[in-house]
């Protein structure tokens, strides 16, 4: 049963852009010790843009752009949209499309098999412009490589922007004694750069989509109580595993349906207000 006080709290939170799907979630929110954040679309606005391109000296820009465009046209990943916008329209046919979740795409064009995706997946040479690549990662860029079976042909450096209120939101949570942890599929150096920029307590990088649930379980054991905030379809299982699952208001249906709490205005600062209010209620009610 829901107490009148909890009902009043749900109504008043809703007015401030936080939708609790039940009184128990207010209680749980007030007890959180840590919050895990998805990176793309949650800490960042989720609109990455290509900023730099590195090309193998023996290939033309047009050939590489064509392959990337024809392949990424068929992917729903936020990076794919940015890559297609940047590489432009090209003619040709792609076959044997294989989406390797958390890694990239493998597909065939004109009888050649290409890979487009993260370094471990698509950098066959392993020493592709190593200095530039490291430098770009340390500046927070996400790298997407393209290769055929024998060579790495190019790399695209994309940058997404932090939500304008992200730093302030994290600072307030940290001040409330809440540990803030980013979980990302991106590489270690890029993860570190974004985590530093946002002021996060820590980060977990190179996390495959189906490892997020396991990470939430580990964090729960470590901190006692964990919240998880995300926006994507593949965040839904992690949201369900956390003590409090929180969805961004503009998130996918799967995230919105699974979550216990919805941040209706996508405003991360409201997280700390929600926690303060929940703590207050936990003291009054019971």
The residues binding ligand ADP (CB under 6 A) are: 39-40, 72, 75, 77, 79-80, 102-105, 116-118, 142, 144, 184-186, 209
Pick from 18, 23, 38, 255: which binds Mg ion (CB under 5 A)? 38
Which among Mg ion, ligand ADP, none contacts residue 186 (Cβ within 5 to 8 A by kind)? ligand ADP
Among 41, 117, 140, 154, binds Mg ion (CB under 5 A): 41
In the DSSP assignment, the letter for residue 159 is E
Percentage helix, strand, coil for the chain under 3-state DSSP, each rounded to 5:
45, 25, 30
By CB under 5 A, is residue 40 in contact with Mg ion?
A: yes
User: Residue 80 or residue 219: which is nearer to ligand ADP going by CB?
Assistant: 80
Least distance (Å) from ligand ADP to the CB of residue 98?
A: 11
231 as an active site residue: the answer is no
Q: Which residue number, 53 or 233, has a Cβ lying nearer to Mg ion?
A: 233
As given in the structure block, the two tokens for residue 77 are: 């990943």
Pairing of strands 142-147, 152-159: antiparallel
Alpha helices in the chain (DSSP H): 4-15, 23-30, 61-72, 78-87, 119-122, 130-138, 166-175, 188-198, 212-223, 236-241, 253-258, 270-284
Residue from 223, 227, 228, 183 nearest 202 by CA: 183
Closest to 177 in 3D by CA, of 252, 246, 96, 275: 275
Whichever of 213 and 285 has its CB closer to ligand ADP, that residue is 213
Smallest CA-to-CA distance from 234 within 206, 268, 258, 204 is with: 258
CA gap 243, 223 in Å, rounded: 11
Which region, judged by CB under 5 A, interacts with Mg ion, from 3-11, 136-144, 170-178, 229-237?
229-237
Instruction: Supply the minimum distance, in Å, between the C-beta of residue 129 and ligand ADP.
Output: 16
Residue number of the CB atom closest to ligand ADP: 185
Binding segment for Mg ion (CB under 5 A), chosen from 57-65, 224-232, 261-269, 273-281, is 224-232
Q: Which residues are catalytic?
A: 38
- Interface residues with Mg ion (CB under 5 A) are 38, 40-41, 231-232
């Amino acid at each position: 049963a829901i107490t009148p006080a909890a009902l009043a709290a749900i109504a008043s939170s809703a007015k401030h852009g936080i939708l609790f799907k039940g009184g128990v979630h207010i209680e749980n929110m007030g007890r959180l010790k840590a919050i895990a954040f998805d990176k793309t679309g949650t800490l960042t606005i989720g609109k990455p843009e290509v900023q730099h391109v590195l090309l193998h000296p023996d290939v033309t820009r047009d050939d590489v752009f064509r392959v990337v465009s024809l392949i990424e046209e068929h992917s729903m990943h936020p990076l794919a949209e940015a890559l297609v916008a940047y590489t432009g329209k090209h003619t040709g046919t792609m076959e044997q499309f294989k989406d390797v979740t958390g890694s990239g795409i493998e597909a065939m064009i004109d009888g050649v098999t290409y890979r487009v995706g993260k370094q471990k997946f698509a950098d066959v040479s392993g020493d592709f412009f190593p200095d530039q690549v490291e430098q770009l990662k340390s500046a927070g860029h996400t790298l997407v490589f393209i290769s055929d079976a024998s060579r790495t042909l190019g790399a695209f450096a994309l940058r997404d922007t932090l939500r304008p209120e992200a730093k302030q939101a994290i600072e307030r949570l940290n001040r409330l004694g809440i540990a803030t942890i980013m979980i990302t599929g991106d590489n270690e150096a890029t993860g570190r750069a974004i985590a530093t920029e946002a002021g996060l307590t820590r980060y977990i990088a190179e996390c495959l989509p189906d490892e997020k649930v396991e990470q939430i379980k580990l964090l729960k054991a470590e901190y006692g109580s964990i919240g998880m905030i995300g926006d994507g379809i593949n965040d839904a299982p992690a949201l369900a595993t956390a003590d409090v699952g929180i969805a961004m208001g503009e998130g996918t249906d799967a995230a919105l349906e699974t979550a216990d709490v919805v941040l209706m205005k996508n405003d991360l600062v409201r997280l700390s207000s929600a926690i303060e209010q929940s703590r207050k209620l936990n003291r009054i009610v019971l």
